[in-house]
Structure 1
Amino acid sequence: MIDFAARLLYVFAASVARLPWPWLLRIGDAIAWVWLRLDVRESRVSRRNLQLAFPQLPAGERERLHRAVLRTTARQALETLRFWTRPHARNLALIRESHGVDQFDAAVAAGKGLIVAAPHYGNWELLNQWLAAKTPISILYRPPKVAVAEAFLRLVRADTGDRVTQIRAEGPAVRQLWKLMKQGGVTGILPDQQPKAGDGEFAPFFGKQALTMTLLNRLAERSGAAVLFAYCERIGEGPEFALRIEAAPPGIAAPDPVAGVYALNAAVEDIARRDLAQYQWTYKRYTLRPPDSGEDNPYRDLETH
């Protein structure tokens, strides 16, 4: 029943995605307007995150950024449905610019393992398809709480050439990744998801302490694998993208995991600042607070809204 329900969701997603691009963009803008008017979860969480990250911004400027975030988020949701349900080659044709691909090719050819850090910026699902077109890749993901949602994600992220291996971000995942790095493989990791308590270290992110994964640091430091940041950034108003691949800062593989997460967050922040509206501000990044800080979960009042 779970797989059947996931396939029904796929049929619905494919039906929506068949609409022309201009229609999808206008529908996305309408969804953003509704989110703002009804003050739904996406609106509340993104507004709170912007308050936490940019307390110095004048209220009017921060509200304009909030509206831009909602608009971009809604558009991204619809464009992702299209990417999930349309031929990958057609999707990849929307990448009009490519930067740093030579670094990626060199790291893969070296055969010493490659970690692709892909922040929640631009459209990371399009990036996944580009990576899979270049090389077999294992993607680490956090499974949704609902079984049907996970089955749907595994369905839409699969590819016909068996070049994508999806690894649940759980205990056995670490062993799988170690083995993959020893074999000179490539893995994709979303580096800006909050880990469980005890699985990370606190480091500044937009000026506020955020619990940050140490997995990427430990994997890079102990395996000697290369680390590159990658993202597909929207350019212009239409469905066009620029692929950008950048070297990670040296501190990303520091023996001290605290130094590693500081470097990681700084790199993600630099990317997000390219266009703040393209970053995923609807995620509760600061839920867990440093021990003995006296701080409470900053989203607690939103949960009882």
Structure 2
Amino acid sequence: MKPSQPGLFHPRLLPTWLGVGVLWLLHWLPLPVLAGIGNLLGSLVAALPLKRRRVAETNLRLCFPEQSEAVRARWVRANFRASARAALEHSVLSWGSASRVRRLVRVEHPERMLGDGQRPVIWLAPHFVGLNMCGIRLSMDVTGVSMYVRALNPVMDKLILHIRTRFSKTILVPRHQGIKPVIRALKSGHPLYYLPDQDQGRKDAVFVPFFGIATATVSALPRLAKVANAQVVPVTTRQLPGGGGYVVTFHPAWENYPTDDLEADVARMNRWIEDRVREMPEQYLWLHRRFKTRPPGESSPYA
């Protein structure tokens, strides 16, 4: 029997409520000031001997062995700054006006958003620090569908649901319901905001190269595209310096995808993501243990 979730006003949730209150206060600040605070906070956290810092260092060493240790260390610090800044700028997503959110997150090539306009669309969104900025900004223009995992903290769960649905009736499918509701939504014309690049174990995964490393990669993208007869339209989000906000870029829809070769299709996805990561390495989700699941006989690089 699972333990019951505490009520929203349980005493042990007081620190969470205080954090939410601080975020609410921060959303009134000008974007350059908010970015400056985020950069400072990220620099302070990056200086601590945290487990996640070691994870980021390991990931960058595996993916960029040709770079010097000094370059990789600079990227780690920049990654913490970008992540902290994005976390604080979620305050604008939570309570900022629609016009302010549009100023925070701008969209390039919106004409590519729905592909050819004839078939369902899967938005392929790699894990850059501006990932949520992209999802919320797009929800202002299109009612999409996304998978949803309930947060254990009920205050955070309520805040996340508020952010993700405040501008539209976004269809949030609980992960435990499986893929069928997602396929129905896709076929009904709702684009799927799909995040493909995290280690979720061996289930439904294939080992394909990512930065030259055999990486357990969920194979759902080509399978979903085939079942729903959907186009894959990649989308990336870049954080701009100096409180300049974010730019969401829609890339051309993939042609001849999927094929009858599942492994080749997943490998193509990883190659595309790798190319985008090389364009802005300091903004990728290096804090995640991407290479945790290993082929038989290999040990985890994070041990």
What does residue 288 of structure 1 align with? 293
Matched, 1:100 2:103: no
1:268: Cα distance to partner?
1.2
User: Which stretches in structure 1 are left out of the alignment for 5+ residues?
Assistant: 301-305
Match among 141, 158, 163 for residue 156 of structure 1: 163
Q: Aligned equivalents of 2:73 and 2:205: distance in 1?
A: 32
Aligned amino acid, residue 220 of structure 1: A
What does residue 220 of structure 1 align with? 225
SS at match of 1:93: helix
What does residue 207 of structure 1 align with? 212
Number of aligned positions between the proteins: 293
Task: Give TM-score, length-normalised by structure 1.
Answer: 0.86
Q: Percent identity?
A: 26
1:3: Cα distance to partner?
4.2
1:43: Cα distance to partner?
1.7
SS at match of 1:139: strand
- Listed as ranges, the matches of 1:55-204 within 5 Å are 55-96=65-106, 98-107=107-116, 109-110=117-118, 112-162=119-169, 164-170=170-176, 172-204=177-209
Q: In 2 relative to 1, CA 158–174 (structure 1 residues): closer, same or farther, beyond 3 Å?
A: same
1:271: Cα distance to partner?
1.6
Q: Aligned equivalents of 2:82 and 2:105: distance in 1?
A: 18
Task: Give TM-score, length-normalised by structure 2.
Answer: 0.87
Matched, 1:272 2:277: yes
Q: In 2 relative to 1, CA 273–92 (structure 1 residues): closer, same or farther, beyond 3 Å?
A: same
CA contact (8 A) 2:136 2:163 kept: no
- Listed as ranges, the matches of 1:240-251 within 5 Å are 240-250=245-255
Cα deviation digits, residues 236-291 of structure 1 (max 9, x gap) = 4223322210135446522222112101111111222221111111111111001x
Match among 39, 45, 50 for residue 49 of structure 2: 39
Aligned amino acid, residue 117 of structure 1: L
Instruction: Report the RMSD for the aligned CA atoms in angstroms.
Output: 2.3
What does residue 21 of structure 1 align with? 31
Q: In 2 relative to 1, CA 128–54 (structure 1 residues): closer, same or farther, beyond 3 Å?
A: same
Q: Aligned equivalents of 1:139 and 1:176: distance in 2?
A: 10
Q: In 2 relative to 1, CA 37–7 (structure 1 residues): closer, same or farther, beyond 3 Å?
A: closer
CA contact (8 A) 2:32 2:242 kept: no
Aligned amino acid, residue 100 of structure 1: H
